[in-house]
Chains A and B, each alone.
Chain A
Amino acid sequence: MRYHTPQTFEEAARIAATGSGTTRFLAGGTDVLVQMRTGLVTPDDLIDLKHIPGAYDITQAPDGGWQIGVAVSGAALGEHPELGRAWPGVVEAMELVGSTQVQGRATLTGNLCNGSPAADSVPALVAAGAVVRVTGPDGTREVPVEEIPEGPGKTALVPGEVVSALLLPPRGAAGGDAYQRFIPRTEMDIAVVGCAVNLTLDGDVIRAARVALGAVAPTVLLVPDAAAALVGSHWDDGARARIEAAARAAARPITDKRGTAEFRTHVAGVLAGRVADIAYRRAKGEQT
């Protein structure tokens, strides 16, 4: 295994593009090292992104949008007060990943690029309308997060492409987001179902919404029907029934040791209702 410490994303992309065998990028390593240790993946080229200037930075643009570096750990994300106020759902989703020790290393970008359908931060990023900046042999492009996962362990990144930053839009006024997952215990487990809701209000009325589900399909799902169930409503009982039904209709889970397809489908509805409620209350300025 060759270990590389490029100083720029262009160099990282070049190494990845010219690598002959298996290539992995190293952010927090909490997936890569486990895969190496269990013999699942042995990279020929391991490209550590943490020496690239800016990799550990969280910065806010003049328009209020956020840029999150590819090495920012869950712990660092959780310690950023302004980001936590702007996008509490994204932060709480990432903070659910693993233990304190895992939080010390795990990154949002790694969670996304590992390609797990149960990745906790990904529904929250999708609901938030996050975008990744991708640097490749042909330059840089920006891709909505929901277009990155293509199936378990598969992403839309082509060989030689590296995510160089994660971008969150400006929060704006009267908005709120939230994420919850169902697991059979309180810590250290993989989502049986995850759900994120992001919405903005006009007075008491929901003006815009995005809803995403995790662990109920081969990829994280953006569910426009569930968002449509909210828009125009005051978050009343009718809206709750509609989002529950839309989430269940969108879920197409498998049955495995963590839960049956029927159970996952049911829980997708329950979570969608609960999470929308939290997002609505956050948008109204309540502390939740």
Chain B
Amino acid sequence: MTTIRVTTEVNGDRVEFLADPRETLLDVLRDKLGLTGSKEGCGTGDCGACSVLLDGRLVSSCLVLGVEAEGRKVETIEGMAPGEELHPLQRKFLEHAALQCGFCTPGFLVASKALLERNPDPTEEEVRYWLAGNLCRCTGYDKIVRAVLDAAAEMRGAG
């Protein structure tokens, strides 16, 4: 099996790795780059726990090959907090207790951030549809949705 050298950008840093072409971007992030915030819930695109941005688009990194990252920009949960401060979404998830086991949380945060960048003032229905590909077995979703709406309101106020 030949490996392929891949050069990409992860959270603003230039990164190089060698990948077996069958390896997913999720495997590369977790096992090669030590970025274990993205989780594997299903490995088949159903749960959203592995959500990242690829060239600004929300995708499931379990359905992207590592070699596909060549020359592109990847943003993960590790790049979300600016420095020592939490991102407003992260803070609101804590305030609203929008997590229990936390396995789904990085995916929800990355997906919610992508939503608010496109739509700073979403309705509850828009939040629920946007996040339909993120599954949570613990919270029952209501607290997550409220946290996202509250973060959106705060971010609009700040902006």
With contacts A98-B133, A100-B111, A101-B133 taken as known, whether A3 is within 8 angstroms of B65 at the C-beta atoms is yes
- What are the residues of chain A within 8 A of B35 when measuring CB–CB? none
A25, chain B: closest CB distance, angstroms: 13
Interchain CB contact (< 8 A) of B132 among A30, A37, A48, A187: A187
Q: How far is the CB of B47 from chain A (nearest CB, A)?
A: 9
Which of B21, B60, B111, B114 meets A46, CB within 8 Å?
B21
Q: Is the CB of B60 within 8 A of A102?
A: yes
Among candidates B2, B22, B43, B133, residue contacting A188 with C-beta atoms closer than 8 Å? B133
The B-contacting residues of A in range 80-114, CB under 8 angstroms, are 98-102, 104-105
Chain B interface category by residue count: 20 to 34
Bound-state CA distance A32–B142 (Å) is 34
B100-128 interface (Cβ within 8 A of A): 111, 114-115
Contact call A75/B57, Cβ cutoff below 8 A = yes
Are A29 and B64 in contact (CB-based, < 8 A)? yes
Q: Report, as a range, how many residues of chain A touch the other chain.
A: 20 to 34
Contact with B along A28-52 (1 / 0, CB 8 A): 0110011011100000001010100
B63 pairs with A73, CB closer than 8 A: no
How long is the Cα–Cα vector from A50 to B58 in the complex, in angstroms? 17
Complex: chain A residue closest to B71, CB-CB = A51
A101, B64: Cβ atoms closer than 8 Å:
no
Contacts of A75 in B (CB 8 A): 57
A61 within 8 A of B: no
A158 within 8 A of B: no
Cβ 8 A contact of B133, one of A2, A26, A100? A100
Identify the closest chain B residue to A99 (Cβ): B133
Q: How far is the CB of B132 from chain A (nearest CB, A)?
A: 4
**Interface residue? B67 (CB, 8 A):** yes
B4 at the interface (CB under 8 A from A): yes
Contact: B57 with A36, CB < 8 Å? no
Chain A residues with Cβ below 8 Å from B51 are 101
Task: Kindly state the separation between the CA atoms of A105 and B45 in the bound complex, as whole angstroms.
Answer: 11
B63 in contact with A29 (CB, 8 Å): yes
Q: Which one of B22, B48, B63 contacts A30 once the chains associate, using CB atoms below 8 Å?
A: B63
User: Taking the complex as formed, is B80 at the interface, i.e. its CB lies under 8 A from any CB of chain A?
Assistant: no
**One of A29, A73, A101 near B65 (C-beta < 8 A):** A29
Q: Which residues of A are found within 8 Å of B44, using beta-carbon distances?
A: 34, 37-38
> CA A50 – CA B2 in complex, angstroms?
21
Q: Is the CB of B58 within 8 A of A100?
A: yes
Residues of the B chain whose Cβ atoms lie less than 8 Å from the Cβ of A187:
129, 132-133
> Does any Cβ of A come within 8 Å of B155's Cβ?
no
Considering the complex of A and B, which 3 residue pairs feature the smallest CB-CB distances, nearest first? A99-B133, A3-B21, A187-B132
9 A-B contacts (beta carbon < 8 Å):
A1-B22, A3-B21, A29-B63, A98-B133, A100-B115, A100-B131, A101-B45, A102-B60, A104-B54
